[in-house]
Amino acid sequence: MQGIGVSEDMRRACWIPIVMLALLAFGPPVLARSADGASVPPQARGLWPFPDDGVTFDNLGEGARLSGVSRTAPGHYRVTVLPETSPINPSPWYAFGIAAERPVRITLDMRYGQTRHRYTPWLLPDGADAWATVAGDAVAVSEAGEAAITLALPAGRSRISAQPPVRLDAIARWQAALVARTHADVLPIGTSVQGRTLEMVAFGNPQAREAVLILGRQHPPETTGMRALQAFVDSVAADDPVARAFLARFRVLVVPVVNPDGVADGHWRTNANGIDLNRDWGLFEQPETRAVATALAQQLQDRSLAFALDFHSTWHDIFYTVTEDPSRAPGGVMHDWLAELDRRFPGRIIERPGPAASTSHVFKNWAFRTYGAPVVTYEVGDDTDAGTLAQLADFGAHAWMRRLGATAPAP
């Protein structure tokens, strides 16, 4: 809970700016990136008060996304959520607060511009300490992909979100604990478009001749991928024989958040320039991808890249690999790792190889072409539950460390 307090006086005093903010929010969204590459305008932040119902919506706080609210009947609202730019991958992230003066039952008609409803809503009622999914029959999705969400809210400010958020401060706390446990180096590797520091965490053997790279959060809404990254890295940093042996041989490089600006402004997909960072590898027109590539090149001056993992989320658990990767052949590290995962979690993970020569400028293909390393885009399902996600990441990390540890050391 962020503890944003909005007093009655403040609500009254805010009417004029609220109306202006609402006009801004309802106005035509700026959908195209300007030709000179200027950044997309940040979302207009504010409050949407409905005194007749005793309800106020807000999009205040990190990661919030809400573009407009109108009241269509008592207790009924049309909620508009628009992306930061267009065209865009259909990842309609929404997150907002609803402050109620008394317990209320309300219905939200969700509209996402050209995009269909995707994410099952999660609710954090005021006073609760854990997010919970909104029960199935409280969400009705039409043929056209418009969702009606019915909520029973207590008095106070509740929050609704497309996924339980994984905020930048929570990631920073997780990272600090990891650094303390592993005596990692935290390398500032550059700054985002909006000036946030990008960091690479490096641990394991500092003299290692081989490194592995783990990336996360190129795409802001992909929180199941973020949680999987955290669980996977925690297993690599565990105090157990498999991890200790692995860290004695390898240097582990982790960039937990490649796109912090997008996370902060509740973006559906892009960085603050409105660019999908996972379409910029090899082009390096964005500071975030440039920073990671430069830092990686420095780390690999006297080391080889043994493996790279890039964590994402999509509709299902899918591992995207590179067709030409020789380690996909039987006896190879990718083949044997995926086979071991399939034996432990039968049918759970789909492998989708794609050609390295793809012109889509995704990280995976660039990393394979540049360093020849086995590389996987580790996609976690939007609805993969926390327990399965953690089990898979822990088993997957240990199997991965054993398989990599069994390969012939780099010359």
Question: Interface mask (CB under 5 A) for Zn ion, residues 170-209, using x and -?
Answer: ----------------------------------------
**Segment contacting Zn ion (CB under 5 A): 78-86, 164-172, 238-246, 308-316?**
308-316
Both tokens of residue 181?
A: 């446990």
CB of 309 to Zn ion, least distance (A): 13
Instruction: Report the residue number, 95 or 333, with the smaller CB distance to Zn ion.
Output: 95
The reply on whether position 227 binds Zn ion by CB under 5 A is: no
Within 8 A by CB and 6+ apart from 102, the residues are: 54, 155
Instruction: Report the residue number, 222 or 234, with the smaller CB distance to Zn ion.
Output: 222
Angstrom distance (rounded) from CA 254 to CA 266: 23
CB of 86 to Zn ion, least distance (A): 18
**Segment contacting Zn ion (CB under 5 A): 25-33, 198-206, 219-227, 294-302?**
219-227
CB of 377 to Zn ion, least distance (A): 8
- What are the beta bridge partners of residue 213? 253, 308
Instruction: Report the residue number, 312 or 361, with the smaller CB distance to Zn ion.
Output: 312
Q: What is the DSSP letter of 117?
A: -
CB of 227 to Zn ion, least distance (A): 14
Pick one of 219, 251, 267, 328: the residue that binds Zn ion (CB under 5 A). Answer: 219
Within 8 A by CB and 6+ apart from 255, the residues are: 189, 198, 199, 200, 201, 213, 214, 215, 216, 292, 295
Instruction: Report the residue number, 210 or 222, with the smaller CB distance to Zn ion.
Output: 222
**Segment contacting Zn ion (CB under 5 A): 80-88, 218-226, 229-237, 320-328?**
218-226
The CB-based long-range contact list for 125-131 (8 Å cut-off, 24+ gap) reads 125/153, 125/154, 125/156, 125/158, 126/1, 126/153, 126/154, 126/155, 126/156, 126/157, 126/158, 127/154, 127/156, 131/161, 131/164
CB of 218 to Zn ion, least distance (A): 6
Instruction: Report the residue number, 117 or 312, with the smaller CB distance to Zn ion.
Output: 312
**Segment contacting Zn ion (CB under 5 A): 30-38, 70-78, 126-134, 211-219?**
211-219
Terminus-to-terminus CA distance in the chain, angstroms? 51
**Segment contacting Zn ion (CB under 5 A): 58-66, 201-209, 279-287, 311-319?**
311-319
Instruction: Report the residue number, 63 or 125, with the smaller CB distance to Zn ion.
Output: 63
Instruction: Report the residue number, 118 or 312, with the smaller CB distance to Zn ion.
Output: 312
Angstrom distance (rounded) from CA 273 to CA 263: 13
CA-nearest of 42, 74, 75 to 59 is: 42
CB of 88 to Zn ion, least distance (A): 12
Angstrom distance (rounded) from CA 65 to CA 94: 5
- What are the beta bridge partners of residue 123? 132, 160
**Segment contacting Zn ion (CB under 5 A): 52-60, 159-167, 215-223, 302-310?**
215-223
Question: If DSSP states are collapsed to H, E and C, what string results for 256-294?
Answer: CCCCHHHHHCCCCCCCCCCCCHHHCCCCCCCHHHHHHHH
The reply on whether position 279 binds Zn ion by CB under 5 A is: no
SS3 230: helix
**Segment contacting Zn ion (CB under 5 A): 7-15, 100-108, 310-318, 323-331?**
310-318
Angstrom distance (rounded) from CA 106 to CA 395: 42
CA-nearest of 275, 309, 308 to 290 is: 275
CB of 201 to Zn ion, least distance (A): 21
Binding-site size for Zn ion (CB under 5 A) equals: 3
CB of 271 to Zn ion, least distance (A): 13
Angstrom distance (rounded) from CA 117 to CA 90: 9
The reply on whether position 312 binds Zn ion by CB under 5 A is: yes
Instruction: Using CB positions, name the residue nearest to Zn ion.
Output: 312
CB of 211 to Zn ion, least distance (A): 23
SS3 253: strand
CB of 276 to Zn ion, least distance (A): 9
Instruction: Report the residue number, 46 or 216, with the smaller CB distance to Zn ion.
Output: 216
Interface residues toward Zn ion, by CB under 5 A: 219, 222, 312
